[in-house]
Amino acid sequence: MMHLTPITLFDYMSALTTPRDLHPSRGCDAPVTGGCERCHTAITPHDAYLARFGTLRCRDCIGTDGFATVADLELFRQTGTLPCSGCGQPIQPAQISPDGTSCTYHCPTCGTTARYTTSAVA
Protein backbone atom coordinates (compact mmCIF):
# COMPACT_ATOMS: atom_id res chain seq x y z
CA MET A 1 0.00 0.00 0.00
CA MET A 2 1.26 3.49 -0.88
CA HIS A 3 1.79 5.84 2.07
CA LEU A 4 2.30 9.44 1.00
CA THR A 5 2.28 12.63 3.01
CA PRO A 6 -0.85 14.54 2.06
CA ILE A 7 -0.65 18.12 0.83
CA THR A 8 -1.73 20.98 3.06
CA LEU A 9 -3.91 23.94 2.21
CA PHE A 10 -0.70 26.01 2.11
CA ASP A 11 0.83 23.57 -0.42
CA TYR A 12 -2.23 23.97 -2.61
CA MET A 13 -2.25 27.76 -2.25
CA SER A 14 1.48 27.81 -3.11
CA ALA A 15 0.84 25.89 -6.32
CA LEU A 16 -1.81 28.38 -7.43
CA THR A 17 -0.16 31.68 -6.52
CA THR A 18 3.15 33.49 -6.60
CA PRO A 19 5.38 33.46 -3.50
CA ARG A 20 4.71 37.19 -3.02
CA ASP A 21 0.98 36.47 -2.61
CA LEU A 22 1.65 34.02 0.25
CA HIS A 23 3.15 36.52 2.66
CA PRO A 24 1.93 35.91 6.24
CA SER A 25 0.26 39.31 6.26
CA ARG A 26 -2.09 37.94 3.58
CA GLY A 27 -3.56 35.37 6.01
CA CYS A 28 -1.38 32.28 5.51
CA ASP A 29 -0.84 31.96 9.26
CA ALA A 30 -4.38 32.89 10.25
CA PRO A 31 -6.54 30.18 11.82
CA VAL A 32 -8.91 28.43 9.44
CA THR A 33 -12.55 29.09 10.30
CA GLY A 34 -14.15 26.08 11.98
CA GLY A 35 -10.87 24.22 12.47
CA CYS A 36 -10.54 20.51 11.75
CA GLU A 37 -13.71 18.97 10.31
CA ARG A 38 -13.55 16.02 12.72
CA CYS A 39 -12.02 17.16 16.02
CA HIS A 40 -12.46 20.94 15.57
CA THR A 41 -8.92 21.71 16.71
CA ALA A 42 -7.54 25.05 15.50
CA ILE A 43 -5.56 24.78 12.26
CA THR A 44 -3.79 27.18 9.90
CA PRO A 45 -3.15 26.71 6.17
CA HIS A 46 0.26 25.23 7.09
CA ASP A 47 -1.29 22.35 9.05
CA ALA A 48 -4.71 22.05 7.39
CA TYR A 49 -4.87 18.95 5.18
CA LEU A 50 -7.30 18.85 2.27
CA ALA A 51 -9.72 15.93 2.61
CA ARG A 52 -12.28 14.62 0.14
CA PHE A 53 -15.43 16.66 -0.49
CA GLY A 54 -13.71 19.99 0.27
CA THR A 55 -13.19 19.60 3.99
CA LEU A 56 -10.08 20.36 6.03
CA ARG A 57 -8.56 18.17 8.72
CA CYS A 58 -5.62 18.28 11.09
CA ARG A 59 -2.63 15.90 10.83
CA ASP A 60 -4.18 13.52 13.39
CA CYS A 61 -7.52 13.26 11.56
CA ILE A 62 -6.53 13.21 7.86
CA GLY A 63 -5.56 9.52 7.82
CA THR A 64 -5.60 8.29 4.21
CA ASP A 65 -8.29 10.79 3.22
CA GLY A 66 -5.87 13.42 1.90
CA PHE A 67 -4.39 14.16 -1.50
CA ALA A 68 -0.75 13.31 -2.22
CA THR A 69 -0.31 16.00 -4.88
CA VAL A 70 -1.99 19.11 -6.22
CA ALA A 71 -2.56 17.17 -9.47
CA ASP A 72 -4.46 14.45 -7.55
CA LEU A 73 -6.66 17.12 -5.94
CA GLU A 74 -7.38 18.81 -9.27
CA LEU A 75 -8.21 15.47 -10.93
CA PHE A 76 -10.60 14.63 -8.09
CA ARG A 77 -12.24 18.06 -8.25
CA GLN A 78 -12.83 17.74 -12.00
CA THR A 79 -13.77 14.06 -12.37
CA GLY A 80 -14.15 12.32 -8.99
CA THR A 81 -11.22 10.11 -9.98
CA LEU A 82 -8.66 9.14 -7.33
CA PRO A 83 -5.37 7.27 -7.53
CA CYS A 84 -5.74 3.88 -5.82
CA SER A 85 -4.04 3.89 -2.42
CA GLY A 86 -2.85 0.35 -3.12
CA CYS A 87 -1.38 0.55 -6.63
CA GLY A 88 -1.78 4.15 -7.83
CA GLN A 89 -4.06 3.35 -10.79
CA PRO A 90 -6.80 5.97 -11.37
CA ILE A 91 -10.23 4.77 -10.23
CA GLN A 92 -13.74 6.22 -10.34
CA PRO A 93 -16.12 6.05 -7.37
CA ALA A 94 -17.99 2.75 -7.42
CA GLN A 95 -20.80 3.93 -5.18
CA ILE A 96 -21.87 7.37 -3.96
CA SER A 97 -24.06 7.58 -0.87
CA PRO A 98 -27.63 8.88 -1.37
CA ASP A 99 -26.84 12.02 0.64
CA GLY A 100 -23.63 12.66 -1.36
CA THR A 101 -21.36 12.74 1.70
CA SER A 102 -19.36 9.59 0.99
CA CYS A 103 -18.00 7.53 -1.88
CA THR A 104 -16.72 3.98 -2.03
CA TYR A 105 -13.86 3.22 -4.40
CA HIS A 106 -12.90 -0.28 -5.53
CA CYS A 107 -9.76 -0.79 -7.62
CA PRO A 108 -10.21 -3.44 -10.32
CA THR A 109 -6.42 -3.72 -10.68
CA CYS A 110 -5.37 -4.64 -7.13
CA GLY A 111 -8.69 -5.04 -5.27
CA THR A 112 -8.16 -2.21 -2.76
CA THR A 113 -11.40 -0.75 -1.41
CA ALA A 114 -11.60 2.69 0.20
CA ARG A 115 -14.45 4.77 1.55
CA TYR A 116 -14.21 8.53 1.94
CA THR A 117 -16.72 10.44 3.98
CA THR A 118 -17.25 13.84 5.57
CA SER A 119 -18.74 12.37 8.75
CA ALA A 120 -16.69 11.56 11.84
CA VAL A 121 -17.75 7.93 11.77
CA ALA A 122 -17.12 6.10 8.49
Q: With respect to residue 82, please indicate whether it lies within any of the assigned structural domains.
A: yes
Q: With respect to residue 4, please indicate whether it lies within any of the assigned structural domains.
A: no
Q: What is the percentage of the chain residues whose pLDDT exceeds 90?
A: 20
Among the listed residues 104, 2, 99, 7, the one whose alpha carbon sits nearest the alpha carbon of residue 57: 7
Q: With respect to residue 89, please indicate whether it lies within any of the assigned structural domains.
A: yes
pLDDT in tens, 47-68: 999 987 678 999 999 987 888 8
pLDDT category of residue 97 using cuts at 50, 70 and 90: confident
Q: With respect to residue 17, please indicate whether it lies within any of the assigned structural domains.
A: yes
Q: With respect to residue 28, please indicate whether it lies within any of the assigned structural domains.
A: yes
Task: Give the distance, in angstroms, between the CA of residue 99 and the centroid of all CA atoms in the same chain.
Answer: 19
What is the H or E stretch that residue 3 is in? none
Q: What is the model's pTM?
A: 0.67
Average pLDDT of every residue of the chain: 79
> Rounded distance, CA 31 to CA 93, Å?
32
pLDDT category of residue 34 using cuts at 50, 70 and 90: confident
Q: For the chain, how many helices (H) and strands (E)?
A: 3, 7
Q: With respect to residue 122, please indicate whether it lies within any of the assigned structural domains.
A: no
Q: With respect to residue 3, please indicate whether it lies within any of the assigned structural domains.
A: no
Q: With respect to residue 2, please indicate whether it lies within any of the assigned structural domains.
A: no
Instruction: Indicate the number of domains in the chain.
Output: 1
Domain of residue 88: give its range. Answer: 9-117
Please compute the mean of the pLDDT values over residues 68-72 and round it to a whole number: 87
